[in-house]
Structure 1
Amino acid sequence: MPKINVERTGVLKRLAVTIVCLLVFELVRLLVQVSALFQYAWMLISKSYSAPLRNFNNRLSLYAYRLLRYATLNENARPFPFEEFPSSGEPAEEPEFDKE
């Protein structure tokens, strides 16, 4: 196990930010669930997806990923609201559906 030299106050500060990040992650998780269900409802009604909602969900999923990377000590850059909100993630693919 690698030994690291850290100050307890630094660990406590990071722990406090991590707790905030985990609380925000739970809100983001709920928002993703609601927006995904809304997207499917929209597709059932209009027979097409909402491009702005897909873009927003893409950015939101990247934000959730960054929150978890910070909380698990795999990234040192503090996520939004301490830094900028992610502008974009991987490009979205066109959805495919089984045609029966």
Structure 2
Amino acid sequence: MAVIEIDVERMDILRRFLVTIVSLLVFELVRILVYATVFFQFLYMLIARRHSDPLRKFSNRMSCFAYRLLRYATLNDNSKPFPFSDFPKAGDCDRPSNTITFD
């Protein structure tokens, strides 16, 4: 296995580390928000017997955002996530499934 040496200033590494810490803190908040949307969606489905499409679209954008946060934190992406750049648009994420199954 080859070891790749990086030619970067220590201050640049420290700046990225600080942005990563902020990203991970934001990820924890997003995780809690996703939990809330999941519970609300299932409660809504139990009562109304249908899903909330706006909530599905919102939670899809949140999962896309969480994915970007983790990719940046794990050094697999160089694009700084929100709040350092734009929040993912609906077109940036995979589309939700057309149907929901309960297998």
TM-score (normalizing by structure 2): 0.92
| 2:94 paired with 1:90 | yes
- The AA in structure 2 aligned to 1:97 is F
Q: For the residues of structure 1 that align with 2:71 and 2:9, how far apart are their CA atoms?
A: 21
Alignment of 1:9-28 (within 5 A): 9-28=11-30
Structure 1 gaps of 5+ residues are none
- What's the offset of the Cα at 1:97? 1.9
Q: For the residues of structure 2 that align with 1:97 and 1:67, how far apart are their CA atoms?
A: 30
| Count of residue pairs brought into register by the alignment | 98
SS state at 1:17 partner: helix
- Identify the match of residue 72 of structure 2 among 65, 70, 73: 70
Which residue number in structure 1 is paired with residue 83 of structure 2? Answer: 81
Q: For the residues of structure 2 that align with 1:8 and 1:67, how far apart are their CA atoms?
A: 22
Q: CA offsets, 1:10-63, max 9 Å, x none? A: 000000000000000000001001110100000000000000000000000000
Structure 2 gaps of 5+ residues are none
Alignment of 1:37-56 (within 5 A): 37-56=39-58
Q: In angstroms, what is the RMSD of aligned CA positions?
A: 0.7
SS state at 1:4 partner: coil
| 2:35 paired with 1:30 | no
TM-score (normalizing by structure 1): 0.95
Runs of 4+ in 1 over 2 A off after TM superposition: none
Identity %: 54
